[in-house]
Structure 1
Amino acid sequence: MALMAMDDALAIFLTVLAVIVLVLDFILLCLHFLSIIYCRIHCNRKPVGLVREELPGVSILKPLVGVDPNFAENLETFFTLDYPKYELLLCVHEECDPAISIIKPLMEKYPNVDSQLFIGESCDEAGTHHEHIGGERVGINPKVNNMNQGYKCSKYDLIMVSDAGCHANNDTLYDLVSHMTETVGVVHQMPYVLPRKGFASIVEMVYFGGAHARMYLGANAIGINCVTGMSSMMRKSILEDAGGMSELGKYIAEDYFMGKACWDRGFTVKVTSLFAMQNSGTYSLKRFKSRMARWCKLRLATVPPLVIFEPLTECLALGACTAWAVYFLFHVHPLVFFLCHSLVWFILDYIQLLGVQNGPLPFNKFEYTVAWITREVLAILAFIEALFDPNIKWRTGTFRLKWGGQVMEVKDEDASKGCRCYLV
């Protein structure tokens, strides 16, 4: 009798589990369709109805460390923005950073652009004098420490943070400002990529325009806090009320907590119509996987329950679980279902990518197929790496994530026991 009761209890548990998996699969499928529709309606729309003379000023913070082959090209696009009133606050980590050799000529080339250079540390012990040398360490986050000087000197209430790898276009500031209404505290751009040479570039484009867009646009469509600090705009007044830049400095995922500060104060967060166009000159499949692992680590540390749900947002893991569920409940052949399930997601990701690209893709369908499969496999490897290695390496140090999103700095010899990923 006891064995029969145990068998009945196990059967009930497995039935409930199978139903939960099917419901989750249905919800994510609906989210996929929602993100496709939302992209078609909301994205790739140029801002209209703005009066140039009435546009508010914007302070652009550029935290910069090192250079890559596209660094000068990307940075120059911010000197040539078609916007009536903005300042460019260029923040580097230390005085001997090679980025300075590119920044200063651009400042001289565009003397009419309101730009300033801020240097966090001196490279020599004496500390060579410079009016903007001497950054203040406000927390553990090296990016926040890097741009804190520029933030304190910013003139305008609207603060845009833009990473070094972003390539701006003339409508970038117009688009951000057009979404910054009275009830909005943060606006942000969904990351996408400019086409570049090589298979790794195709994988990045397939990911950011497909799987990433699916979750990013879907989350924003239903009002979930999903903010990336790669290219975003916030109200300085709200951030000051939340404790200022120093409050964000104790988190690595400063963008998430920036959005949370707005929600907590009754403001909303909006995604813009145009995308943050990434144009890094240094990229590879290895760097891509490390980057995905780093983002996964941040999500798991910030929202711990994602340890269970994170892999189930990916096609292969969810397809395998759903194949088991339909076999258990309806005796459908699991391999047949898995292949059909993967094909549906493959097609929907392609439709999503076409919507984001808003034009012809710079690669053919065969290249898309290989890149899509590669990305799905790398997603599993990135999740495994995120589970077993809590360390994140930035160019200025190595950090260990703690639950809740806070971090602690660790010595390189301690961090060398696990893999490292780079903040890009």
Structure 2
Amino acid sequence: MTAVNESQAILFSLALIGLTWYVALWAIGILGCCSARKRYRLRPRSPLATSISAPGVSVLRPLKGLDTNLYENLESTFIQEYPDFEIIFSVADNDDQALPIVRDLIRKYPNVKTRVIIGETVVGVNPKVNNLIRSYQEASNDILWILDSNVMVDSGTLGRSVDALSGLGVSHLQKPQKQVALVHHVPFAFGNGGRLGSRVEEAFLNTNHAKMYIAINTIAIESCVVGKSNLYRRSDLERVNGSLKPLTNEMNIVGGERGLKAFGRYLAEDNMIASSLWHELDQRHDLSCDVARNVVGNMTMSDYIWRRVRWIRVRKHMVLAATILEPFTESIVLSVIACTSLNNLCGIPRWIVLVMHFTVWLLIDLDVYASLAGHPMPPSRRWQFIVAWTIREILALPIFLLAIVGDEVIWRGNRYQVLRNGEVKQAAHSRFRSWFQKIIHFKQIKHYEQIIDQSDDD
């Protein structure tokens, strides 16, 4: 075989591999879109809403400061259509600005069982875990619903989530073969339309992130959980420790730190808890047919970029292979693969492939948005959304390249070094500050900012 023929054979093989990868990624994207349609466009009322035999649930909401839309976020848990639940709010200190809002809500809903726990228990570097420890220990019920303070939920969410945890939920696309240990909710971002970073974050979470998240959880070959809103049993969590090693003998639970305390050393404790329930107990997860309405607030572009950098760096130390493959799942890189492969294999002009690729990709993303929102993107917001969506797609690869080379992250004003499996330690202060710290600007929200729920108008 001549050198020319060998070169042609290599190019043909690479083009075939590229086209196969492209088709596979499209299949995953279409699966996410179709699953979103089937799962989220119908949200029936749970029979547990009026059942006298509904299991008790403890709703744990860790708080720190005045998050955007905090009053409405917290109020959404008071109005759950469920007969037996308690709400436990936890703050680290008595001066926390969230406490007056909590007390206002307690006065407004005197018939809801509510407690406030002040004071954290330090078990690791993760402040959220430290804040939750006492609530976790003092909760009256085995079923726990952990909700971030920047999340708002529909009034029927708890009932449908308990349905799913019991394996009875109508949200199942197919019945899991193993017991469900955790129910989670896909984040759906919304804001007040302020800064560009907020719009880009919305475009990311409500389209590509949601599409891939739903598809991965539909295939369900591995744990994939975001901890904005998670429901699980304390009795299950007390059996795991983050080792990800199968618990083959119940006697193995004796000795060593287990339960929530064991996850204080992780930055992404939500993902590690989910993975531990999956691998150590050989149990599974499920998505209910509800979303966690994630209030993004006024994010600058710098906020958005460094938020993405932080979680890529964490994922790199948890699932390295999947993280390395991540750029090859993004629309721009995939478009280059597609137009090059199809041009070499079939002679199709590159511009035709690019036009078709981005047109259909955007239409699918808009369809995913409509499924999660419960209504199509309104014409008045469509072009604004498309601009934010385009910026997100263009920035995906540069952000990844920036993130993949570092190990330090900044979270809630503290610097951490990410270790193996997503564990973190406080980063040592040094005279030398990395260049990105001179660019990034962190600020705390000093006042309560309300966001009007635009679901009826948008």
Same fold (TM over 0.5): yes
Which residues in structure 2 correspond to 1:72-111 (within 5 Å)? 72-111=71-110
Change (3 A) 1:418 1:15: farther
Kindly indicate whether the alpha-carbon contact (under 8 Å) linking 1:394 and 1:423 is maintained by their aligned counterparts in 2.
no
What's the secondary structure of 2:314's corresponding residue? helix
- The 5 Å alignment of 1:91-170 reads 91-119=90-118, 133=119, 135-170=120-155
Cα offset for 1:15? Answer: 4.0
Distance in structure 2 (CA, Å) of the matches to 1:415 and 1:99: 36
Mapped partners of 2:72, 2:158: distance in 1 = 18
CA RMSD of aligned residues (A): 2.7
Aligned to 1:314: 330
Alpha-carbon spacing, 1:92–1:412, altered in 2? closer, same or farther (3 Å): farther
Identity %: 29
Look up the match of 2:251.
Answer: none
Q: Residue deviations 1:196-217, cap 9 Å, x none?
A: 3336444333322211121011
Distance 1:389 1:404 in 2: 15
**Aligned position for 1:129:** none
Q: In the alignment, residue 375 of structure 1 is paired with which amino acid?
A: R
How is 1:198-213 mapped onto 2 (pairs within 5 angstroms)?
198=194, 200=196, 201-213=198-210
CA contact (8 A) 2:15 2:342 kept: yes
TM-score, normalised to structure 1, is 0.87
Q: Are residue 22 (structure 1) and residue 19 (structure 2) matched?
A: yes
Matched-pair contact (CA < 8 Å) for 2:191–2:296:
no
SS in 2 for 1:55: coil
CA distance in 1, matches of 2:277, 2:5: 49
How far residue 274 of structure 1 moved from its aligned partner, in angstroms, is 0.8
CA pair 107-267 structure 1, distance change in 2 beyond 3 A: same
Which consecutive unaligned segments of at least 5 residues does structure 2 have?
168-178, 241-257, 445-458
- In the alignment, what sits opposite 1:373? 390
More displaced 10-residue stretch of structure 1: 7-16 or 381-390: 7-16
Cα pair 1:68 1:280 within 8 Å, conserved: no
Residue 231 of structure 1 and its aligned partner are, at CA, apart by 0.5
| Residues 186 and 232 in structure 1, CA contact (< 8 A), matched pair in contact too | yes
Match of 1:215 in 2: 212
Q: CA deviation at 1:295?
A: 2.6
Across the two proteins, how many residue pairs are aligned to each other? 407
Q: Determine if the alignment matches structure 1 residue 185 to structure 2 residue 181.
A: yes
Q: 1:10 offset after TM fit, Å?
A: 6.1
Q: Which moved more, 1:351-360 or 1:262-271?
A: 351-360
Judge conservation of contact 2:64–2:91 (CA < 8 Å) in 1: yes
Shift of 1:239: 0.4
Which of 138, 157, 160 matches 1:172? 157
The CA distance in 2 between the partners of 1:417 and 1:336, in whole Å, is: 43
Q: Does the CA-based 8 Å contact 2:237-2:260 persist in structure 1?
A: yes
Match runs of 1:387-398 below 5 Å: 387-395=404-412, 397-398=414-415
Cross-structure match for 1:36: 33
User: What secondary structure, in the 3-state scheme, does the structure 1 residue paired with 2:89 have?
Assistant: strand
1:325-364 superposed matches below 5 A: 325-362=341-378, 363-364=380-381
Shift of 1:403: 3.1
Residues 97/114 of structure 1: CA separation in 2 closer, same or farther (3 Å cut): same
Q: Say whether 1:246 aligns with 2:244.
A: no
User: How far apart are residue 110 of structure 1 and its match?
Assistant: 3.2
* Structure 1: runs of 5+ lacking an equivalent: 120-132
Question: For 1:266, what is the secondary structure of its paired residue?
Answer: coil
Please, which moves more after superposition, 184-193 or 109-118? Answer: 109-118
The corresponding residue for 2:310 is: 294
- In 2, the alpha carbon distance for the partners of 1:158 and 1:152 equals 12
| Counterpart selection for 1:197 from 169, 193, 196 | 193
TM-score (norm 2): 0.81
Corresponding residue SS for 2:188: strand
Partner of 2:289: 273
Question: Aligned partner of 1:298: which letter?
Answer: V
- How far is 1:317 from its partner? 1.6
Shift of 1:12: 5.0
SS of 2:227 mapped into structure 1: coil
Q: What is the identity, as a one-letter code, of the residue corresponding to 1:351?
A: D
Please give the alpha-carbon distance, in whole angstroms, between the structure 1 residues aligned to 2:203 and 2:362: 11
Letter in 2 for 1:382: I
Deviation at 1:304, TM superposition (A): 0.5
